Amino acid sequence: MEAGRQSSPKAADALATLCEVYWFPLYAYVRRHGHSIDDAQDLTQAFFVHLLDNQTLRVADRERGRFRSFLLASMKHFLAKQWRRDTAQKRGGGRAPLSLDFEDGETRYRLEPSHEATPEKLFERQWALTLLARALASLRAEFEASGKAARFARLKMFVGGEKSTVPYRELADQLEMSEGAVKVAIHRMRRRYRALLREEIQHTVGAPDNGEEVADELRRLFDALTL
């Protein structure tokens, strides 16, 4: 993975992307583990600094398993070493803190059901939601780039297989399309969304998409949504 190659000029950008995409599932895991808001923020921040400073990402290859599993195992090991707030700050070595929106993260965490889901299950759920959101954002960007932002806004509810309370005929009138064209557009959106989701998953399994591994990860992620 590019984030693990510190000799690469793209390593810093790769790590920034890594943090932006995957920090919240780890933060939710730390919070559900019983850490306070302040400690969870510091531990999450320090964890990513630890990955960079110690070149830990160099071992995040295919032999070590899926990137999702690698990050969770790394965080467990990190917490087991009792890297509390004061220790975490010292370990940062003066490195500038990473830009993570913890205020938004805590708001999202408080929206989680108060059932007895384990930290591991909560991590898996948030990982799945992150991937789904990433795929949807990519789909939105494609529609906006092609000047079809309004079409995306009207039809995005269908991407996840939801049923609209608005009849196809009414949607067709709103979009100035035929009813048949709306149905075709929805079918294509769903197909493209599935392809983008597979691409997102592909980035986390680190192996050529032979279909089986990505499909297995996809099943695991959707299972994680049924807490």
Query: Is the pTM here over 0.85, yes or no?
Result: no
Q: Which of these, 62, 66, 34, 29, lies nearest to 47 by C-alpha position?
A: 29
Strands (DSSP E) contained in 15-131 are none
Classify burial at 91, counting beta carbons within 10 Å of its beta carbon; exposed 0-12, middle 13-18, buried 19 or more.
middle
Q: SS3 breakdown of the chain: % helix, strand, coil, rounded to 5?
A: 70, 0, 30
Is pLDDT above 80 for 205? no
Which of 41-45, 71-75, 104-108, 145-149 reaches the highest mean pLDDT? Answer: 145-149
Q: Which of these, 85, 12, 11, 73, lies nearest to 46 by C-alpha position?
A: 85
Dihedral sign computed on CA atoms, order 17, 127, 35, 47: negative
pLDDT in tens, 80-119: 876 554 554 544 445 555 667 777 777 777 777 656 678 8
Q: For the chain, which residues make up each domain, given as ranges? A: 1-112, 130-227
Give the pLDDT band (50/70/90) at residue 136. Answer: very high
- More confident of the two residues 107 and 218: 218
Structure tokens at 156: 């995005």
CB 31, CB 40: distance < 8 Å: yes
DSSP string of 117-176, one letter each residue: --HHHHHHHHHHHHHHHHHHHHHHHHHHHTT-HHHHHHHGGGTTTPPPSS-HHHHHHHHT
Is pLDDT above 50 for 197? yes
Is pLDDT above 90 for 216? no
Distance (Å) of CA 31 to CA 26, 72, 126, 147, 199: 9, 14, 13, 41, 29
Distance (Å) of CA 132 to CA 89, 128, 221: 33, 6, 10
